[in-house]
Amino acid sequence: MTRLVLVGPPGAGKGTQAGTLSEKLGVPHISTGDLFRAHIGDGTELGRSVQGFLDEGKLVPDEVTNEMVRERLADEDTAGGFILDGFPRNIAQAEVLDKILAESGQKLDAVVSFQIDEDVVVARLLGRGRKDDNEEVIRHRQHVYRSETEPLLNYYRDIVLTIDAVGEVNEVTNRVLNALDK
């Protein structure tokens, strides 16, 4: 059973690692950023309501985000585990996640923390070219990470695995798999 949360600053390579780990571990990759972008791309009402937050690098309100995650975690493919990428992003979301999992007798196995310098991630993001990747928005997203998301590492301190996120993609994947004993 593999129920994981990936935590790391924007640009740490979480999404890429989540994709690879999802294949290797045979559990779905659930990225709240991807879910929001899919809604925006499909022109749904939810998409229209969250677009401004994504454009400015601000967190989407918890009620919207938590409800979307609650629905996604109710899908059958998550019964054998999942990799959450980009959720939770603050303590309030973490508390809701605990509650959602507890309702079906589940709990997280590990929280993988990707460690990388801010200078390295900002340089990476500037090269990525996503719509929310201009310098001002990038800076803001790093600030949101430090103030809202990083405190999760203390919240989850008993199950955190700290991974050096600097290096080749497959090297970093191997570090995670080793830390997970897989």
The residues that touch ligand AMP, with contacts defined as CB under 6 A, are 10, 32-33, 36, 53-54, 57-60, 65, 86-87, 89, 93, 141
Report which secondary-structure segment, H or E, holds 156. none
CA distance 167 to 147: 26
For ligand AMP, give the closer residue by CB, 146 or 182. 146
Reference 173, options 19, 17, 7; nearest CA is 17
16 is in an annotated binding site: yes
Return the residue matching tokens 């605990």: 98
Q: What is the DSSP letter of 141?
A: H
Q: How far is the CB of 176 from ligand AMP (least distance, A)?
A: 18
127 is in an annotated binding site: no
For ligand AMP, give the closer residue by CB, 2 or 31. 31
Q: What is the DSSP letter of 145?
A: I
Question: Residue 160's beta-bridge partner residues?
Answer: 111
For ligand AMP, give the closer residue by CB, 90 or 173. 90
Annotated binding site: 11-16, 32, 37, 58-60, 86-89, 93, 128, 130, 141, 167
